[in-house]
Amino acid sequence: MIKIGEFEVTTDWPKEYKQGYNRFSERFQKTIFKTTYPTVDQMENMFIYLMDGSYPICYWKGKVSDFTDPNPTFQWIILKNDKAVGKVSEDHEAGML
């Protein structure tokens, strides 16, 4: 799930899955949503969640403004396991995007 304030999009099931590995390869259609913030720089943080059903178990927190480049380069986003949930015990098993 990708979440910015109250706006969220969720992927479908993984296209490929094995023990300890999921590949989603999902692209979302361009979506415009309205917000009360006057600029992207003033928007709230965005979150990317790895879900177990409807429950987030790992996450990444970042700035919306880091994703405004019309010609972006590839980057790895490393998720963190949510220790309060305890579903993923090791940091290195939280996942990457």
Q: Please state the pTM of the whole predicted model.
A: 0.84
Tell me 12's DSSP state.
Answer: -
pLDDT exceeds 90 at position 20: no
Look-up: residue for tokens 């390869």?
A: 25
Rounded to whole angstroms, the Cα distance separating 55 from 7 reads 17
E strands, 54-93, are 55-63, 80-81
Structural domain count, the chain: 1
pLDDT interval class at 63 (50, 70, 90): very high
Q: Identify whether the C-beta of residue 75 lies closer than 8 Å to the C-beta of residue 96.
A: no
Q: How far is CA 1 from CA 31, 39, 70, 81, in A?
A: 15, 23, 22, 15
Residue numbers of the domain that contains 86: 2-93
